[in-house]
Homo-oligomer: A and B are copies of this chain.
Amino acid sequence: MVDLSLHPMKEVRVIVSGEQRSFVTELLDRIEVSGYTVIAVTAGKGHGGVQSSHFMFGGIESLEMVMTVVPEEKVEPILSGLRTLFSHQSGVMFVSDVSVSRREYFGKS
């Protein structure tokens, strides 16, 4: 029987240049998230920090959004793991509440 009830989790989205995707996904693998989804970004502006209003991500086609859904206690390790990347690369991370079906796909707490 398939469990289709909904369970509260955290959705984490990270926007980085395509060249940095593997840094992010390898981090997610190390933290043992159960999966992730990568979506291409058509255009982006201003996630470059203080120089935001004048900064365009290197190549527009190389910008990507990596999404994952994790139990809350994995948010901080992801944040910490991105510290190295974000200290010298553009990028930003969003965290939001989400409910998922099939909790077994996303790892137990």
Nearest B residue (CB) for A1? B87
Q: Is A43 an interface residue (CB 8 A)?
A: yes
Interface residues of A, CB < 8 Å — how many? 51
Partner of A82, one of B42, B94, B98, B101: B101
A81 CB to closest chain B CB (Å) equals 10
A87 CB to closest chain B CB (Å) equals 5
A26 CB to closest chain B CB (Å) equals 11
Given known contacts A11-B94, A40-B40, A93-B102, what 7 new A-B pairs fall within 8 Å (CB)?
A35-B92, A36-B46, A40-B42, A50-B104, A92-B100, A92-B102, A96-B98
A-B CB proximity, top 3 nearest: A35-B46, A38-B43, A95-B99
